[in-house]
Structure 1
Amino acid sequence: MPVDPLRILGRALAWMIGVALLTLVLASGVATRLDSAFYDLHMRYWPYQTSNAVTIVAIDPKSLSKLGNWPWPRTVHAQLLDRLTDAHVRGVGVDITMADPDVNHPENDHALAQAMRRNGRVIMPVFAEAAELGGTLEEMLPTPEIASAAAGFGHVDAAKDDDGVIRGAYLKAGLGHPQWSALALAVYEIGQKTPEPALPSLHRPDPGAESPYEWMRDDYVMLHFAGPVGSFEQVSYIDVLEGQVPAAQLKSRWVLIGATAAGLGDLLDTSASGGGERMPGVEYQANLLESIKNTRTLTPLNFTSQFLLGAALLVLPMLLYGMPGFRRVWLAAVISLCASFAMSIGLLRWAGWWWPPIDSAIVIVMVAVAVSGLQRINWRR
């Protein structure tokens, strides 16, 4: 079959126009919400069974009814840590703010610090907050006495997207410089004899642009949530405190302590929620810890990678159109649309890369509409 140079030139020109449109669509971010909706939909049908390496000690309604209103005396937390120490847990992440000293009972802070030293594997939270409305951000760590007893610190900054939904986490963050590991990552790193290789993540494009007054984030990963709220084993704070949870159930596990009762902890909308029950912050950290342990974190591709994959995909409809069985432009377009979504799911599931497919889908539809319109004009002539 002879090669028609004009047809090849026309296809090449159409591809270049498609690539130009792809650049504009990617840069505009017009498809971001649709890509996020597609990602969320897929995540809700991609749960997995947790490894039982992570247990949440939940500050739940049952504990509040027995121990009274929040906050509790820090001697109570000290007693809980001693229970966990006796159970030989692997590490403890405390998702409880303790930035202010107990001025009325300083001995409580001392008791908690002593319990933390006896354990030796307690990670405490750090976050950024302004002392007054509109004021300068400050890094909030535990009180000096409690901080001195901690094995390390981890930030508890939840990575919300523009629509308020959490789909990932920043492995590093800090005021002026992203020096703090995420709480879950800091817990995971406890007792590691050798540094773990860095997880694949999306890095800041301008690592040199830092301000001492700005909360800086880096190393963004997307999370493969285990499922909806309640996917991780939870034990009630009061049950652990009263010895009703067998030590063998906690032995060699990572334990995260945090609030699950409504009105206490931060409840988060995640890609696993689907508009249902919101996820407590401590369970968000549990998902991150489990993902780190099993290398289940997902890497969002940067702009250049998204563009190159999208440009390569646009070759498909140019090749298909006109081949036997593909005389109609919309048939080639539909096949290419299916290929874009299949490629996105395949890269996510088997390579751990998130490639948003909607941008390419929009361009494929736009080019198909243009070609179809030109065909109708020619037929009328």
Structure 2
Amino acid sequence: MRALRSIRRSRAHVGERVLTGVGAAALVMLLTLSGLTAPLDRGLFDRLAGARHAQGEQQVVVVAIDAPSVSQLGPWPWSRRELAHLVDRLTAAGTRAIGLDLLLAQPSLYDPEGDALLAQAIRRNGAVVLPVMADLPAPPQPATALLPAPSLAEAAAALGHVEVTTDPDGMPRQLDLRAGLGTPRWPAFSLVLESLATHGTALPARHARHRAVATSDARPETWSGTETVLLAYPRGGGIEHVPAAGVLDGRIGAERLAGRVAIVGRTDDAAAGEVTVPGMAHQLAPVDIQANAVARLLEDRAIWPIPILAQVSLAVVLVCLPLLLLGLPGMHTLWVPMGLAVALVGLLCWALLLAGAWFPPMAALLVLMIGVVTGVVSSWLRTRRQSRLDAGTGTANRAWFDTRLERDVRTARRRGRPLSLLLVEARGPGPQLPGQRGELALPLAAALRLRLRRPADLIARLDAGRFAALLPDTGADTATALATALMVDLEGRPGRPGPAARGNGLRMGLATLHAEDARGSDLLLRATRDLVAARDPLAP
């Protein structure tokens, strides 16, 4: 029988683990797929990824068309001749590559020679990248791509798109290394600059670490991208800015530009699209975002987001891990495997980030924390429940009985409801030691449980052979009938003797709440007197 009970208990534990695992897996899938924990993951990404990138900043410089430059040279747009002069000065300074993050979509109507001069300056440098800008109106209006003027586009080493996807919190974190209308035909502006600066070629190869997404079914009017990487923004001062006017008039020497990737863009007050980046004292203009992307790619530390299916699978494994470890040597309590799982989530997230991949851990951590809280609450409730129970019979102990008695008496008096208390005592023949009197406890507790099944009823063991039954909303007549039925159960029937018929004695005491019972102890005293007054079945 013990072996059978052990097998049943083992099967019950396995069933509980399976149900718990299914629930945890379903919850972590819901959190991951719904994006409920995405804001927490984005904040964690900014803090972790922003702390590990620094050296790329020294390789990039922003040539800013800032407010002082506009004040010195006039409002934007500047003459194409001025831009040609700027490109020549950057070429002479020995820059590795130049990115003109400027909208140059239309030929100059009043100075076509300026266009020619700018095209010649771009061609002489041989490593100038011009932007492809996407105009993305609200649906159902189609998207359009704004290309540089044809003469400038032909002179450039390459074109690259400058679109960076902004997350719901306003942070531009997602960069598609290839994007375009319908088909991702243009490489990213930053990727082309990195390729020119590192390899001397304007046609960067596809990254083998990230397979492109099929776009054959994309509509031509839809802007689509692939090979997405995540951009980290280092905490601190950021990338160095030099004023464009200072480069033109020679105040910025070649030593501050040589060997660096120069990105020309607007940072003056008229420039739109500035964003606030956590950890930085100033807002970032669009040209700063492109410069940051170049710096990250030059470090060869592009952060690739783990595909959603892999995220879900990994999170499910992590939240189910404590259930698999529970019961192994040294892991007989839930706290050890739960702690290991939480630590493993953090270590795995950090290790993957160092390897250039991002696993959002908050869904798994939240489910594990829910498990920890549930375990703490369950342990507390179990400890509290066990502190109220008698270890030998599983009924309430004397301390909990006294508490319930006082509470139920107050409730019955306040509501004007009846309350009865039944005392049952069983003992064997002859002098009884405490241990011998306790032999009748289990059958007596079982008989009481059989008769008292209401949730409000309380069965308590007061001492070795005495039990109490607290019966809310039970009058004297009902309690008397219940006591009679209980007596029959214990004494047995013809051919079926009960525990009290095997040389054992049984007596009962019954009391119902009266108006003069001010406290629970008064009701208990009257029930005890009734018990003592009952005839001893074993008396001669």
- Aligning the two structures, in what range does the TM-score lie when normalised by the shorter sequence? 0.7 to 0.9
Give runs of aligned pairs for residues 91-170 of structure 1, distance below 5 A. 91-129=97-135, 135-170=141-176
After superposition, the Cα gap between the structure-2 partners of 1:222 and 1:104, relative to the gap in structure 1 and judged at 3 Å, is: same
Alignment of 1:218 onto 2:231: no
SS in 1 for 2:58: coil
Structure 1 stretches lacking a partner, 5+ long: none
Query: Offset of 1:183 from its aligned partner?
Result: 0.7
Task: Tell me the amino acid that sits aligned with residue 209 of structure 1.
Answer: D
| 1:235 Cα deviation from its structure 2 partner | 1.7
- Structure 1: distance between partners of 2:156 and 2:265: 17
Tell whether the 8 Å contact from 1:202 to 1:299 is kept in structure 2 after alignment: no
Q: Where do residues 12-161 of structure 1 align in structure 2 (5 Å cutoff)?
A: 12-50=18-56, 52-129=58-135, 135-161=141-167
**Cα gap change, 1:91 to 1:47, in 2 (>3 Å):** closer
Q: Is the 8 A contact 1:156 1:183 kept in 2?
A: yes
Please list the CA deviations of residues 149-176 of structure 1 after superposition, one character each: whole Å capped at 9, or x if unmatched. Answer: 1111011112211222122311111111
Aligned to 2:261: 254
Cα displacement (A) at 1:328: 5.7
List per-residue Cα deviations over 1:108-158 (Å, max 9, x = no partner). 222211211222221101112269997432211111222221111011112
What percentage of residue pairs aligned between the two structures are identical? Answer: 31
- Residue from 262, 267, 271 that aligns with 2:274: 267
Q: Secondary structure at the residue paired with 1:50?
A: helix
Contact 2:63 2:264 in 1 (8 A): yes
Corresponding residue for residue 248 of structure 2:
241
Between stretches 157-166 and 8-17, larger displacement belongs to 8-17
Question: Is the Cα–Cα contact under 8 Å of residues 162 and 188 in structure 2 kept in the other structure?
Answer: yes
Match of 1:356 in 2: 360
Of stretches 37-46 and 207-216 in structure 1, the one that deviates more from structure 2 is: 37-46
Match of 2:182 among 154, 171, 176: 176
Corresponding residue SS for 2:42: helix
Asked whether the 8 Å contact 2:274–2:283 carries over to 1, the reply is: yes
User: Given the alignment, which residue of 269, 288, 303 partners 2:293?
Assistant: 288
Which deviates more, 130-139 or 43-52?
130-139
Task: Name the SS for the 1:189 alignment partner.
Answer: helix
TM-score (norm 1): 0.86
- Mean CA deviation greater in 180-189 or 12-21: 12-21
**Amino acid paired to 2:367:** V
Q: Shift in Å at residue 365 of structure 1?
A: 3.3
In 1, Cα distance between equivalents of 2:153 and 2:212: 29
Q: 2:57–2:239: 8 Å Cα contact kept in structure 1?
A: no
What letter is aligned with 1:316? L
Aligned-partner residue type, residue 219 of structure 1: E
**Residues 183-222 of structure 1 correspond to what in structure 2 (within 5 A)?**
183-190=189-196, 191-192=200-201, 196=205, 198=207, 200-201=209-210, 203-204=212-213, 206-222=214-230
The question of 1:339 aligning with 2:344 is answered yes
Which of 297, 300, 303 aligns to 2:302? It is 297
The CA deviation at 1:218 is 1.1
Q: Tell me which of 317, 321, 328 is aligned to 2:322.
A: 317
Unaligned ranges ≥5, structure 2: 1-5, 387-393, 395-540
Count of paired positions? 375
Contact kept? 2:97, 2:127, Cα under 8 Å: yes
Larger Rg: 2
Given that residues 210 and 227 in structure 2 are in contact (C-alpha distance below 8 angstroms), is that contact kept between their aligned partners in structure 1?
Answer: yes
Per-residue deviation at 1:89?
2.1
TM-score (norm 2): 0.63
Distance 2:27 2:126 in 1: 56
Please state how far the C-alpha of 1:372 moved relative to its aligned partner.
Answer: 5.7
Q: Which amino acid is 1:221 matched to?
A: V
Letter in 1 for 2:258: K
**Could you tell me how far 1:197 is from its partner in structure 2?**
5.8
Given that residues 183 and 215 in structure 2 are in contact (C-alpha distance below 8 angstroms), is that contact kept between their aligned partners in structure 1? no
Cα deviation per residue 1:337-375 (whole Å; 9 max; x = unaligned)? Answer: 3432332123212x2211111111222234445556666
Give the distance between the partners of 1:186 and 1:316, measured in 2 at CA. 44
CA contact (8 A) 1:49 1:226 kept: no
Deviation at 1:70, TM superposition (A): 1.4
> Does structure 1 retain, via aligned residues, the 8 Å contact 2:64–2:265?
yes
Q: 1:243 to 1:81 in 2, by over 3 A?
A: same
